[in-house]
Amino acid sequence: MPPPGDWVSYENARPIEGTRFRLCEVTEIDSTNRALIDANVRGEPAWLALIAGHQTHGRGRRNRTWDAPPGSGLMMSVLLEPPVDTASVHLLATAVGLSAVEACRSFGAGAQLKWPNDVVITGPDGSMAKLAGVLAESVVLGEAVSAAVVGIGLNLRPVPGRDAALGRTIAVLDSMTPTRIEPRELGLLILHQLERHVQLVYDDPATLRATAIGESALIGRRVRVELDGETLVGVAVDVDVAGCLVVESAGRRRTLTVGDVVHAGVD
């Protein structure tokens, strides 16, 4: 593996058989997303993946931090070509989330998507525990979007005290599978699934939408969504072709481009 640090050389990135991806692995880095954004600025082409054993400054949506001790999870980002409609870059996050759902299910974990960017495990009582978070970012050179970077952080091992510190239950893959899954093993499986889902973003977003609806943990459930300046309560009824959540509240439907679903219940 390349040594820890803020700069990564991708000369020895290995092609992943059956995909267009090349994979580079590092023991430690500040942020895999940041590293791939810089890589594209320096001229690295799309279809590059980076896995880190540890991130010192992992980022989530809305500038939240993603803290995971070394070896506790999969920390991976991918550098991709942007969609023709650059407003649909966030659909690439959906593609990564779907790929993670399918990979986790292959190990026996009943994962689902939670809009806009989480992979969750839903309990018998309808409660949802976060298994992974996904973050998509555009790379802008001049006035054009040159690429998109999508990162995923997925919990593999329990971290003592983390649930108490966060005030909520965090799902870990180890507790749901009969065998211990290694980060690289999971990452490779996600990349194989991602090859197909990313192509749908480019060629057939309607099919990607239908798949995302089928894997959603929210559709048909009563939700409470925190928006800028207000809280919306209603029933999640759809995800549109742009990846926005449609909530029916007080007799009308609202299409949400951003927001945090802080509760989902079963009527």
Instruction: Identify the pLDDT of residue 166.
Output: 75
Note whether residue 4 is domain-resident: no
Are 82 and 104 in a shared domain? yes
Give the residue from 172, 188, 214 where a domain finishes.
214
pTM, rounded to two decimals:
0.90
Instruction: Identify the pLDDT of residue 4.
Output: 41
Instruction: Identify the pLDDT of residue 65.
Output: 61
| CATH number of the domain bearing residue 230 | 2.30.30.100
Q: Whole-angstrom Cα distance, residue 69 to residue 258?
A: 29
Are 183 and 247 in a shared domain? no
Q: Is 90 helix (H, G, I), strand (E, B) or coil?
A: helix
| CATH number of the domain bearing residue 164 | 3.30.930.10
Residue 102 φ/ψ, nearest 5 degrees: -65, -40
Instruction: Identify the pLDDT of residue 63.
Output: 56
- How many domains does the chain fold into? 2
Domain that includes residue 119, residue range = 14-214
Find the helix or strand (DSSP H, E) in which 195 lies.
helix 183-203
In tens digits, the chain (267 residues) has pLDDT values of: 444 445 688 888 999 999 999 999 999 999 999 999 999 999 999 999 999 999 987 665 555 566 667 888 999 999 999 988 877 888 999 999 999 999 999 999 999 999 988 999 988 777 889 999 999 999 998 888 999 999 999 999 988 777 767 777 889 999 999 889 999 999 999 999 999 999 999 999 999 999 999 999 999 999 999 998 899 999 999 998 888 899 999 999 999 988 888 877 655
User: Residue 20: CA atoms inside 13 Å, Cβ hemisphere, count?
Assistant: 13
Note whether residue 3 is domain-resident: no
Are 136 and 251 in a shared domain? no
Comparing C-alpha atoms, which of 6, 123, 130, 113 is closest to residue 56?
6
Are 185 and 244 in a shared domain? no
Instruction: Identify the pLDDT of residue 62.
Output: 52
With beta carbons less than 8 A apart as the criterion, state whether 131 and 121 touch: yes
